[in-house]
Amino acid sequence: MDNLSKLGWLASEVLLKDGFDKSKYQPEEIGIVLTNANSSLDADLKYWDSVQDMASPSLFVYTLPNIVIGEICIRNGFKGEDALYLTPLFDAAFLQQQVSYLLDNDILKACICGWVDVVGDDYKSALFLVEKSDNGIEFSVEELNKIFTAQ
């Protein structure tokens, strides 16, 4: 597993470990929307180094940035809508708009969303769990920004 997938997978494990009951939903009702600034650059650089001798198929697969979503979905059995968007910086308004659309239009009932980015030793992950019936923290741009900057 590449570093981006490891970071996203580990962050999702921490996010879901206490209190998320996925049995309340069908697998198709749980999705993932992630953003980052560097796509799969960390894996791309390692793959590029490998092609100098012999290209590594095991590294090549991780040159697709959405593989991190696949790793999380496989681990948890999620089969809902998913997407990974590239934004230069964390964009809470964009994220809130995308996830709200999925929830408001009954495409999803629960969604992991947030930021997962890594290049070399520089990494950051901030994931949020949003449930349509959530009575917790308001899913707003202000709350997303507050949580993201606290990380």
> Which runs of E-coded beta strand occur in 50-101?
82-86
Strand order in the sheet with 110-119: 82-86, 30-36, 110-119, 122-131
- Residue 134's pLDDT is 58
What is the spatial distance between Cα 100 and Cα 95, in angstroms, rounded to a whole number?
8
pLDDT by 10s per residue, the chain, length 151: 899 999 999 999 999 998 899 999 999 999 999 999 999 888 877 877 777 777 667 777 766 788 999 999 999 999 999 999 999 999 999 999 999 999 999 999 999 999 999 999 999 999 999 998 756 678 899 999 998 998 6
- Residue 13's pLDDT is 97
- Domains parsed from the chain with CATH numbers: 3-16+24-150 (3.40.47.10)
What's the pTM value of the predicted model, to 2 decimals?
Answer: 0.90
CB neighbours of 30 closer than 8 A, spacing ≥ 6? 22, 76, 78, 79, 80, 108, 109, 110, 111, 112
